[in-house]
Structure 1
Amino acid sequence: MANLHLTRPRPDVLLVTLDRPDRLNALDHGLVEDLHRVLDDLRADDECRVVVLTGAGRGFCSGLDLTEPFPEDATAGLEFPRSSMRWQERIAELVLKLSRLRQTVIAAVNGPAYGGGFALALASDIRVASDSAQFCTQFIKLGLGGCDIGVSYTLPRIVGAGQAFDLILTARTVDAPEALRLGLVSRVSEGSVVDDALAIAETLCGYGKFGLESTKQVLWANLDAPGLDAALQVENRSQILASTSGELRAAAAAFADRRKP
């Protein structure tokens, strides 16, 4: 794909690199469509278990490519505002697809993650940052509303409502150390952020196949749980299903033999 570089560091891990480094991997029509194709392919990929998402060059993703904010190819030949709504919805669908993937998604944020790039990182399951990573919602700076591409949903659930209101309304830039303090990322890499993300992926691939898939599904489902009882209902069913895979018995046998499952 012209705008993405795909590699398999191991058969069950896909490294997806946004590949428009001259534009800080800004989201144009071609990149958005390539991302959709990869995410659609991943839904049917039963071998891949973890996806690592990063950017080429010195940035993760700078957001919408403002040289062509409303690309003609994305308008479906419709009149305004229907044409722009199609493009808006197409970009926003990316965050839904990321959250709904069976695979765990690790965002290896190697530089600026602004606007839509920030939204892609927030829709990932785990975020790790390089020491040069920067985060900014940016939208309100562009004469738009500050809530776009899912950030008004994902950001408060990650850092809390108070911090999210601050970050979205002021559109201030957060560096890697502050992102770690806020809980926006789970770790800051001292070396290669991609290598650290791949190390996490290797750990995850050592766990049961159904267990890893169901854990992601339960975590996302219970973000919207109305209460503890509803959350427990989802957890209970997932655990019983997981126990039928045979992986629990294998893990118990390994434990008894003092060996790694």
Structure 2
Amino acid sequence: MKRQYETLLLEERGAVDHLTLNRPESLNALNPTMVDELRNYFRDLATRPDRRIVVLKGAGRAFCAGLDLKAEESHALDTVQQGLAFQRSIAEIYIAMRRCPQPIVTLINGAACGGGLSLVLASDIRIASTTVKMNCAYIRVGLGGCDMGSSYFLPRLVGSALASELILTGKFINAERSLKLGLVSQVVEPEDLDAAAEEDIQLMLGNSPLGLRLSKEALNVNIDIGSLEAAIALEDRNQILCSQSKDGKEGMTAFAERRAPHYQDV
């Protein structure tokens, strides 16, 4: 049974989830309800192998303007303990995004600020529209510039020098610079965002389900791994797991027979 949300729209198209942040009147800012719904959604994916890919986007003219500082619940934090608990509840979204086995394709339109930028950074494939403006907004509201995984994701994506520039200044970067920095893989017109993702989606759906899940796992683990030998050991383990599965045998047989494979996730 498909779950109903207050702040999200979920459309299942075959094995692909199309998840839309749906608070356009607030530029899809993260209020406590959206925080809870996003965290629970991405956590639940760990037990949903039938869902193979997630496409994430924002309704209206922005992707996500970050934390909703106007929400009353965001200010009702009277103690350090309450503040830390709320902070951690938001951070768990990004951890769950990296842990879930499904690749996440994020389509970015308009503003992606603060926690919205971190949603982009925690994704696997990022496609931007020409309207994109992104920044590490945290430092611009009296907080530290390192928040919601930004100090982890940005240096790994663009290097420490550029990450320092973005985190310490909070400056906006547009679509053109985002592409040059490697933050996004494509820039297209706003009306072409969905179409731009379709090629990648279809190619991923044409790969074995186990191979796709283990590939995301290896990419995330090996970016922090201590040695080449350890990285190769994980790759070797994954290849043997895949090759001994029925889908692995089907993939090799289909290649030899020059036909499309028929995968069943077995």
Sequence identity, in percent?
40
User: Tell me, what secondary structure is at the counterpart of 2:11?
Assistant: strand
Distance 2:235 2:11 in 1: 34
Distance 1:69 1:113, change over 3 A: farther
Q: Give the partner amino acid of 2:59.
A: A
Structure 2, unmatched stretches of 5+, are 262-266
Alignment of 1:226-241 (within 5 A): 226-241=226-241
Superposition CA RMSD, Å: 1.5
Alignment of 1:120-139 (within 5 A): 120-139=119-138
Aligned to 1:6: 10
Alignment of 1:88-167 (within 5 A): 88-167=87-166
Q: Give the partner amino acid of 2:49.
A: D
User: Tell me, what secondary structure is at the counterpart of 2:183?
Assistant: coil
**Per-residue deviation, 1:67:** 0.7
Aligned to 1:179: 178
Question: Is residue 196 from structure 1 mapped to residue 196 from structure 2 by the alignment?
Answer: yes
**Per-residue deviation, 1:112:** 0.9
Work out which of the residue numbers 25, 30, 43 in structure 1 matches 2:28.
25
Distance 1:256 1:37 in 2: 42
Work out which of the residue numbers 53, 56, 60 in structure 2 matches 1:57.
60
Distance 1:119 1:69, change over 3 A: farther
Aligned to 2:257: 257
Distance 1:31 1:198 in 2: 27
Q: Give the partner amino acid of 2:175.
A: A
**Per-residue deviation, 1:50:** 0.3
**Per-residue deviation, 1:233:** 1.1
**Per-residue deviation, 1:125:** 0.9
Q: 8 Å contact 2:112–2:132 — kept in the other structure? A: yes
Report the TM-score when normalising by structure 2. Answer: 0.92
CA displacement, residues 166-201 of structure 1 (integer Å, 9 cap, x when unaligned): 111111111111101100001112442133224422
**Per-residue deviation, 1:19:** 0.2
After TM superposition, the structure 1 stretch with the greater mean CA deviation from structure 2, 181-190 or 245-254, is 245-254
**Per-residue deviation, 1:70:** 5.2
User: Tell me, what secondary structure is at the counterpart of 1:259?
Assistant: coil
User: Tell me, what secondary structure is at the counterpart of 2:9?
Assistant: strand
User: Tell me, what secondary structure is at the counterpart of 1:192?
Assistant: helix
**Per-residue deviation, 1:252:** 2.4
Q: Give the partner amino acid of 1:137.
A: C
- Residues matched between the structures, number: 256
